[in-house]
Amino acid sequence: MRPKGEVHLALLAAAQALATPERGATLRELAAAACVGLQAARQTVGYLSKSGALVVARTRRVPYRNKPVAEWAPPQPDASASPQPAAHALAGALATWHASPTSHTDSA
């Protein structure tokens, strides 16, 4: 897998810096904050959206367009999902296994 490019990293940093709970950044705002061209931002935001690094938080009316534009933001972490469920399950199994008495250690 190729490393992340400069435009990719700049747009992610701009999205994280501009995103608030009430408002995300439009494509033009992301491009301006990241100091990249609008065409490069449009293409890269498409890739970021496909990979899940950016999501459409909501839409907003702007004076320069008839249709509402998307507000982009990093995805919010899911609060209901427990972090690393497999690691917790493995730790519990190992603790139970270690604490259980074994019959092969008893000598008769």
For residue range 30-70, list pLDDT tens digits in order.
Answer: 999 999 999 999 999 999 999 999 999 999 999 999 999 99
Domains in the chain: boundaries: 6-77
- From CA 39, how far away is CA 99, in angstroms rounded? 61
Q: Is pLDDT of 28 > 90? A: yes
Chosen CATH of 6-77 out of 1.10.3720.10, 1.10.10.10, 1.10.760.10, 3.40.47.10: 1.10.10.10
Q: Are 59 and 69 contacting, i.e. CB atoms less than 8 angstroms apart?
A: yes
Based on DSSP, count helices (H) and strands (E) in the chain, helices before strands: 4, 2
Residue 100 has pLDDT above 70, yes or no: no
